């Protein structure tokens, strides 16, 4: 049965077969994985890695085979390549050699979109440089307006050197080179708590003075998980950092406010918090409270409305359904009609899982215009389902995510707002950095194939 699914020509069958590899009693079927389509192949690589199976000869062959396909069709194989190098046992000498032998090909592929190319090349460069211990390829992966991607990749590279004094110096330099770019500073904040506290302290002190809600959220989240780092920041500066989110607009800083409350608890200190009707904040200040959603007055978008996303990867058509989430669908419709999606990017793309975008900030910390009650339902997040990401109850906004393979762990946890009726092949080939050039809402039926 398992081999029959992998050998099938149907995408759904191959996806199901790839997922079965996770089961320890299912043969890996090495001979069939190399012939899968891009999405199920990415799922298969993750499954093989999860089982702890090295099969070095197979990994080496897969690396060489996917690199050839990537060169011929970058759009189709970019995410599969990233899934491959994230899963392969790169400590094996043969696998390392096969991977390093592909650098000249992989780092020169082009999709024709500068932002997408910079995103892919910088992520690929990070993997190559982790093997060599230098940042030579990262330094050359992007330039000009896309230079920030190189800086983000370098911050993620430094995470792997937690006790290297040079990593602390380099991270502080990155924070200064960022010139206020929140995307870089967020990556620096996340990386800083991975270093030894003494090495991270200068960078943490610099970031603690930020007034950007996204940077504060990333920093406070990291410090909550690594309280020993927070204690290296002078008390007066730490108190200002904890208060800072409450001096910003609540809709923009709700994640930072929640993180500040969590860190204050971890440090056993109190901070003044502003009154809020937002359930995410009410629950953050009083976790045992039973709080009813605040009623809102919206115009419910009827079934049959189609959200059309014209992206740099192609056109995606989403049948909106306000049956279970009328307020969320109304907000999405309003944002599309007002042109607020135009020019936003897909800032998060996880192979075989999700493509998420529509954030005006471009980093996942924006898109909330007003409080919308969180509307959960029994609708399943199967392949092609579209949902709204949350940072807590009633924090949904205009951001959207599309699941590229069934994701049952998302069921009843996020608002379900519709499903893709055409363009799933576009979602499958989406790369972080792809842009929504224009979004519109049109009337139509729900016919179409989301597969």
Tens digit of pLDDT per residue, the chain (451 long)? 789 999 999 999 999 999 999 998 888 999 999 999 999 999 999 999 999 877 889 999 999 999 999 999 999 999 999 999 999 999 999 999 999 999 999 999 999 999 999 999 999 999 999 999 999 999 999 999 999 999 999 999 999 999 999 999 999 999 999 999 999 999 999 999 999 999 999 999 999 999 999 999 999 999 999 999 999 999 999 999 999 999 999 999 999 999 999 999 999 999 999 999 899 999 999 998 888 887 665 555 556 899 999 999 999 999 999 999 999 999 999 999 999 999 999 999 998 999 999 999 999 999 998 888 999 999 999 999 999 999 999 999 999 999 999 999 999 999 999 999 999 999 999 999 999 999 999 987 544 444 3
Q: Is the residue at 404 inside a domain? A: yes
Residue 108: count of CB within 10 angstroms of its CB: 10
Q: CA-CA distance, 399 to 335, in Å (whole number)?
A: 10
Q: Is the residue at 212 inside a domain? A: no
Among 319, 346, 340, 307, CA closest to 428: 346
Q: What are phi and psi of 398, to 5 degrees?
A: -90, -5
Answer yes or no: do 199 and 66 share one domain: yes
Q: Is the residue at 402 inside a domain? A: yes
Of 187, 206, 225, the last residue of a domain is: 206
Q: CA-CA distance, 94 to 60, in Å (whole number)?
A: 7
Angle, vertex CA 278, rays to CA 273 and CA 283, nearest 5:
70
Answer yes or no: do 319 and 196 share one domain: no
What is the token pair recorded at 116? 């997408």
Answer yes or no: do 198 and 75 share one domain: yes
Burial letters 131-156, b for 16+ CB under 10 A, else e: eeeebebbeebbeeebbbbbbbbbbb
Q: For residue 20, what are the CA distances in angstroms to 46, 48, 189?
A: 11, 10, 37
Of 206, 236, 263, the last residue of a domain is: 206
Query: Residue 385: which CATH number?
Result: 2.40.100.10
Answer yes or no: do 424 and 311 share one domain: yes
- DSSP character at residue 10: -
Answer yes or no: do 30 and 167 share one domain: yes
Answer yes or no: do 84 and 199 share one domain: yes
Among 298, 278, 294, 296, CA closest to 286: 278
Note the pTM of the prediction, 2 decimals. Answer: 0.93
Residue range(s) defining the domain that contains residue 63: 2-206
Angle between helices 165-177 and 197-207 (to 10 degrees): 10
Please compute Rg for the chain using Cα positions: 23
What is the token pair recorded at 344? 């936003």
Answer yes or no: do 199 and 312 share one domain: no
Of 190, 206, 222, the last residue of a domain is: 206
Residue 165: count of CB within 10 angstroms of its CB: 12
pLDDT score recorded for residue 445:
59
User: Does residue 340 contact residue 370 with C-beta atoms inside 8 Å?
Assistant: no
Residues 6+ apart with CB under 8 A from 77: 38, 66, 69, 70
pLDDT score recorded for residue 450:
42
Answer yes or no: do 7 and 114 share one domain: yes
Q: Is the residue at 245 inside a domain? A: no
Answer yes or no: do 59 and 176 share one domain: yes
The residue length of the chain stands at 451
Q: CA-CA distance, 390 to 373, in Å (whole number)?
A: 11
Q: 295 in the Ramachandran plot: left (φ > 0), alpha (ψ -120 to 50) or beta? A: beta
Q: CA-CA distance, 41 to 113, in Å (whole number)?
A: 25
CA 177, 178, 184, 187 torsion-angle sign: positive
Answer yes or no: do 188 and 325 share one domain: no
- Bridge-based pairing state of the strands 416-422 and 400-403: unpaired
Q: CA-CA distance, 205 to 159, in Å (whole number)?
A: 18
Among 406, 409, 375, 407, CA closest to 390: 375
pLDDT score recorded for residue 232:
96
Q: CA-CA distance, 284 to 303, in Å (whole number)?
A: 35
Q: Is the residue at 230 inside a domain? A: no
Answer yes or no: do 318 and 438 share one domain: yes
Q: Is the residue at 184 inside a domain? A: yes
Q: Is the residue at 81 inside a domain? A: yes
pLDDT score recorded for residue 152:
98
Q: Is the residue at 53 inside a domain? A: yes
pLDDT score recorded for residue 298:
57
What is the token pair recorded at 230? 């927070």
Q: CA-CA distance, 24 to 20, in Å (whole number)?
A: 9
How many domains does the chain fold into? 2
């Amino acid at each position: 049965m398992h081999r029959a699914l992998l050998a099938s020509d149907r995408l759904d069958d191959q996806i199901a077969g790839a997922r079965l590899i996770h089961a320890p009693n299912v043969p890996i079927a090495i001979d069939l994985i190399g012939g899968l389509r891009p999405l199920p192949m990415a799922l298969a690589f993750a499954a093989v890695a999860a089982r702890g199976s090295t099969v070095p000869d197979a990994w080496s062959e897969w690396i060489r085979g996917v690199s050839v396909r990537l060169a011929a069709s970058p759009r189709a194989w970019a995410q599969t390549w990233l899934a491959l190098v994230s899963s392969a046992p790169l400590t094996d000498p043969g696998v390392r050699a096969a991977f390093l032998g592909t650098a000249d090909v992989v780092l020169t592929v082009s999709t024709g979109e500068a932002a997408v190319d910079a995103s892919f090349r910088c992520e690929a460069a990070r993997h190559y440089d982790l093997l060599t211990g230098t940042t030579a390829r990262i330094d050359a992966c992007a330039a000009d307006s896309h230079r920030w991607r190189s800086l983000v990749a370098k911050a993620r590279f430094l995470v792997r050197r937690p006790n290297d004094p040079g990593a602390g110096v380099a991270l502080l330099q990155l924070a200064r080179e960022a010139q206020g770019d929140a995307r870089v500073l967020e990556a620096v904040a996340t990386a800083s708590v991975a270093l030894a506290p003494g090495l991270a302290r200068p960078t943490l002190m610099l970031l603690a003075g930020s007034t950007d809600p996204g940077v504060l959220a990333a920093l406070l989240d990291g410090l909550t998980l690594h309280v020993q780092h927070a204690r290296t920041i002078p008390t007066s500066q730490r108190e200002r950092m904890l208060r800072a989110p409450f001096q910003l607009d609540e809709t923009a800083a709700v994640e930072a406010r929640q993180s500040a409350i969590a860190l204050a608890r971890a440090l056993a200190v109190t901070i003044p918090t502003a009154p809020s009707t937002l359930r995410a904040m009410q629950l953050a200040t009083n976790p045992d409270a039973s709080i009813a959603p605040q009623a809102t007055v919206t115009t419910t978008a009827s079934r049959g409305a189609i959200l059309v996303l014209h992206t740099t990867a192609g056109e995606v058509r989403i049948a909106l359904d306000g049956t279970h989430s009328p307020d969320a669908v109304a907000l999405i419709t309003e944002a599309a009609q007002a042109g607020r999606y135009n020019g936003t990017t897909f800032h998060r793309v996880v192979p075989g899982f999700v493509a998420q975008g529509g954030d005006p900030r471009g980093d996942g910390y924006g898109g909330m215009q007003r409080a919308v009650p969180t509307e959960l339902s029994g609708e399943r997040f199967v392949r092609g389902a579209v949902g709204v990401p949350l940072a807590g109850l009633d924090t949904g906004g205009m951001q959207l995510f599309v699941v590229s393979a069934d994701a049952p762990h998302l069921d009843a946890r996020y608002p379900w707002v519709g499903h893709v009726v055409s363009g799933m092949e576009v979602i499958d080939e989406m790369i972080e950095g792809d842009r929504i050039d224009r979004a519109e809402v049109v009337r139509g039926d729900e016919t179409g194939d989301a597969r």
